[in-house]
Copies of this chain bind each other. A is one copy, B any other.
Amino acid sequence: MNSFNSPSFFAGQTVLVLGGDGFCGWPAALRFSSLAARVVILDNGARRETDRRLGVTSLTRIHSLQERVDAWRATGGGAIQTYDIDLAENYAGLRRVLLETRPDIIIHFAEQRSAPYSMMSPEGARHSVDNNIRATHNLLAALAETRLDPHLMHLGTIGVYGYATAGLKLPEGYLKVTAHGADGRAVDKEILYPGRPDSVYHMTKMLDQHLFEFYARYHGIRITDLHQGIVWGTQTAETGRDPRLVNRFDHDAIYGTVTNRFIVQALEGRPLTIYGSGSQTRGFIHIEDMLTCLTLAAATPTARGERVRILNQIAETSSINALARKVSRLTGAEVVHVDNPRCEPEGNEFEVDRGTFHDLGFVAHRFDEILGTEIAQLGDLLCPRGEGRRSSVA
C-alpha cells in the first residue's frame, strides 16, 4: 500500500527539510513529523520574498513559518525546530545546523523551482544558476567536511531528461549505451542519462546531478535524486488539519503549474488556456503521492559507496489537451489555445520508467480518480462561504 501504517515509522530519526517552508517542503515536514520523526526546517523565506518581488501571491492565505509550526504543535503535532538560514550564502550556518541536529535524512527542496522564472530575464537565469548550484554544492561540501552520513534526498525534476527523448522510454537516471570511440572501438557502458534540459531551471537540476555523482563517488555521500513530475493538488492530510497549516497555492504564470491554472480558470468561469497545440506530454503527480514517494525513498536509504540512486517520481503522463478535457468535463469550462510563451518541443513522446516506486508498493492516484474531488476541495478552500465563485463544480 501507499502509506505507512505505523504512525511511529520514523521515530528516533531526525529529518532536516531544506526549504521546509515551501509548497513541497512544508507538507513534507508535516508528514515526517506525523510519522514521529524529529523534524528540523531550514528555510530563509526566499519563496515568500520572491512573491513580494514579483507581486504574485498564494491564493490560500499562508501564515508565517513560526505561526505554522506553532499551529502544528497546538493541533497535536510534534515540535518542529526552524532555522532561518540561506543555504547558498551561509555555509558556516549550514555546517552549524548539521552538527547541531545530526540528521539521519536530509530532504533538499531549497532551490529556485520555476522554469518560467529562470527564462524571463537575465536576473532570473542568473539567480537560478547561482542559487541552486551554490546551495547544492554547499550542502555536499558540508557533508564531506563534517563526515556526517545522512541519506540525502533531493528533489530533481523529470525535465532533467528533456522532452526530446528520441523515441526512447526514459530509464531511471542511467542509460545503457554501446559507445563508439573515435577509432570505432565499441564499449558497453551505463551512463548518467544525457539530458537536454528545456530551461535554465531544468539545467540547474542536471548540474546538481553531476555534483551528486562526484560527491557520491569521492566522499561516499548517500544520495537519492527524485526526478519528479509536475506536482498538483494543494492540501495533504496534515495541512488540512487546521487553516493555519494550509499549503500555498500558486496560479500565476511564473509559479502556477498548468493544473493549478486550469483549475482556477474553471472555478472563475474563464476558458482554460492551452499554450500552443497542447500535444506536449508531461509527467504529473498529486501532492499526496509525492509524500508517499518521499517516505518510501526515506524508508529505503542507499548504502555508503553506492552510486546516486535516481528515481522517477511521477504518477502518470498526460498531454496538456487530455488534461484540459478532463477539467472541462468536470467543470464545463471552455478550452482555448493561445500562443505558447515557452520554447519547448510540441507533440513529444514521453514514456518514463517508474519501476522502483512500483516495486516499493506505490500505487499512484490518477486524474480520473481524484481530479473532481480536488477541484471541489479547492473551490471550498478558496471561497469557503460560497461567496463570489462564478462556476459550478460538477
| A residues adjacent to B (C-beta < 8 A) | 91, 122, 125-126, 129-130, 133-134, 137-138, 141-142, 144-145, 166-172, 175-183, 185, 187, 189, 191-192, 194, 196-197, 200, 203, 206-207, 210-211, 214, 217-218, 343, 351-353, 355
Q: How far is the CB of A256 from chain B (nearest CB, A)?
A: 23
User: Apart from A125-B144, A130-B133, A183-B353, what are 10 other A-B pairs with CB-CB below 8 Å?
Assistant: A122-B141, A166-B179, A166-B189, A168-B181, A175-B180, A177-B179, A178-B178, A178-B180, A196-B217, A203-B211
List, in ascending order, chain B residues with CB within 8 A of A355's CB.
182
Q: Measured between alpha carbons, how far is A125 from B189 in the docked complex, in Å?
A: 29
Q: Which residue of B lies closest to A197 (CB)?
A: B214
The reply to whether A134 and B129 contact each other, CB–CB distance below 8 Å, is yes
Question: Can you give 8 A-B contacts (C-beta < 8 A)?
Answer: A125-B137, A125-B144, A126-B137, A130-B133, A169-B181, A171-B182, A178-B178, A206-B210
Report yes or no: A171 in contact with B181, Cβ–Cβ below 8 A: yes
Closest Cβ of chain B to A206, distance in Å, is 6
How far is it, in angstroms, between the C-alpha of A384 and the C-alpha of B134 when the chains are bound? 46
Report the separation of the CA atoms of residues A181 and B218 in the bound assembly, to the nearest whole angstrom: 28
A181 nearest CB across to chain B (Å): 4
> What chain B residues lie within 8 Å of A133 (beta carbons)?
129-130, 133, 207
Contacts A194-B191, A203-B210 hold; do A182 and B170 have CB atoms under 8 A apart? Answer: yes
User: CA A191 – CA B196 in complex, angstroms?
Assistant: 10
Query: Taking the nearest CB of chain B, how far is it from the CB of A183, in angstroms?
Result: 4
Task: Specify which of B138, B168, B182, B183 is in contact with A179 (CB 8 Å cutoff).
Answer: B168
A169 touching B183 in the complex, CB below 8 Å, given contacts A194-B191, A197-B214, A218-B343: yes
User: How far is it, in angstroms, between the C-alpha of A166 and the C-alpha of B177 when the chains are bound?
Assistant: 13
Determine whether the beta carbon of B142 is less than 8 Å from that of A122. yes
Cβ–Cβ contact B141 & A134, under 8 A: no
Question: How many Å lie between the Cα of A172 and that of B122 in the bound state?
Answer: 31
Please report the C-alpha to C-alpha distance between residue A353 and residue B182 in the assembled complex, in whole angstroms.
6
Is A178 touching B177 in the complex (CB atoms < 8 A)? Answer: yes
Residues on B with C-beta less than 8 A from A353 are: 182-183
Question: How far in angstroms is the closest Cβ of chain B from A15?
Answer: 24
A200 and B187 within 8 A (CB) = no
**Chain B residue, CB-CB nearest to A138:** B126
A243 to chain B, nearest CB (A): 41
Q: Determine if B176 and A180 form an interchain contact, defined as CB atoms under 8 angstroms apart.
A: yes
Tell me, rounded to whole Å, the shortest Cβ–Cβ distance linking A320 to chain B.
22
Bound complex: CA A172 to CA B189 (Å): 18
Q: Do B126 and A91 touch (CB < 8 A)?
A: yes
